[in-house]
Amino acid sequence: MTEKPENPAFDPVLGLVEPHAGLLTAPPDGQRLYKIMTIENLLRSVGGGYLYFNQVDSYKDFPSADPNDGEQLGRDRASNAATRFEKATDFSAADYYDHSRHRTYACCFSLEDSDHMWSEYANGSPRGKVGIAFDFAKLRAVINDTVEAGIGLEYRGARCKQIFSVNYGVVEYIAWATARRNVTKMVNPILYTYIKDDNYAKEREMRISLSAFGLGRYVLADGTEIEFPPGLQLGFDFRRAVADGTIIEIIPGPGCDRDFLRDELGKLGIMALDSDSAT
C-alpha cells in the first residue's frame, strides 16, 4: 500500500451512487422490502422527512444486535494488522478497515414479512409496532436521486460536501468466527458491511449503506475535524412515497394502537392505512 492515510487535510473524496454495485448482490426489481418500526419512530421519520441510518459499529443497544456488524472478519484481522502503509508504517490495513467501519451507516430491511422480524424488532413501545413495505426499485431510485443531488451532511449547523457513497446489497450469512476473505488479496471494506454471522440468517436482511472513505480526516472550512455521529438522517418524503407507490403498504403489527396511528398519520398528510389486519 502506498497511500498516506493521516494527512492533516485533503480535498474530500466525494460520495458516489452505487460505486460498489459489482461487488454486491442487489434484490431484483419487483422485490418488496419490509421494515419493522415502533409507531413513535415511524411518526418521527414521517414528520422529519427522513430515513434513519445507524453507524454499523454502534449496534449494541438491543438484545438481537450483532456486535460484529460491519467489522473485518476475526480471522482476517491478524494479516490485516500486519499489512502496513509504506508512508505511514504505524497505520495498518486493520486500522483502515476499522476507520471505514466507523464511517459507514446502514438502513436495514428484510426480504420477508416474517414472524421472526415481528418478534425481534421494535419492541417496548406502548403504542405498538408497524411494518412498512417498500418497492425496492422505486426506493433505490429515490435514494439515488437524493445522494446524486449532493445535498450533503449538516454538521453542527455547517453544510458539508456530500462525502457518503450509497450502496445496496443482500447480506451474506457465514460462519463469521472461522471465515476468511483476505486469503489472496485485501478486500474492499464495503464487503464487510454486507457480511453477518449465520446466527442472524433468519433476518433475510437487505441493507442500504452510506459510507465515507476510510483514510484521512474530514475537516470543516475552519479546521474543525468532523466526528462521525452514531446516526444519520437521509431526506425521504413519506407522503410522496405513499402517493407514488414507493411505499406499498403500512401494516399494523402486534399491539398496534390503530386509531392513534391512523389519526397521527392523517395529521402528517397520510390519510389511510393500506392494510387493516395485524400481522
**Going residue by residue through the chain (279 aa), what tens digit of pLDDT does each one get?**
333 344 444 456 788 999 999 999 999 999 999 999 999 999 999 999 999 999 999 876 566 778 899 999 999 999 999 998 777 788 899 999 999 999 999 999 999 999 999 999 999 999 999 999 999 999 999 999 999 887 666 777 777 788 999 999 999 999 999 999 999 899 999 999 999 999 999 999 999 999 999 988 888 878 888 899 999 999 999 999 999 999 999 999 989 999 999 999 999 999 865 544 433
C-alpha cell at 110: 428484510
What is the rounded CA–CA span in Å between residue 2 and residue 14? 21
What is the rounded CA–CA span in Å between residue 36 and residue 255? 13
Q: In 200-272, which residue ranges form alpha helices assigned H by DSSP?
A: 238-244, 258-267
Q: What does DSSP assign to residue 224?
A: P
Among candidate residues 25, 16, 36, 11, the one with its CA nearest the CA of residue 256: 36
CA distance readout (Å), 261 to 60, 242, 253, 268, 270: 29, 15, 11, 11, 10
Q: In 83-218, which residue ranges form alpha helices assigned H by DSSP?
A: 93-102, 115-120, 136-148, 189-193
C-alpha cell at 271: 390519510
Among candidate residues 219, 87, 209, 106, the one with its CA nearest the CA of residue 156: 219
C-alpha cell at 39: 409507531
**pTM, rounded to two decimals:** 0.90
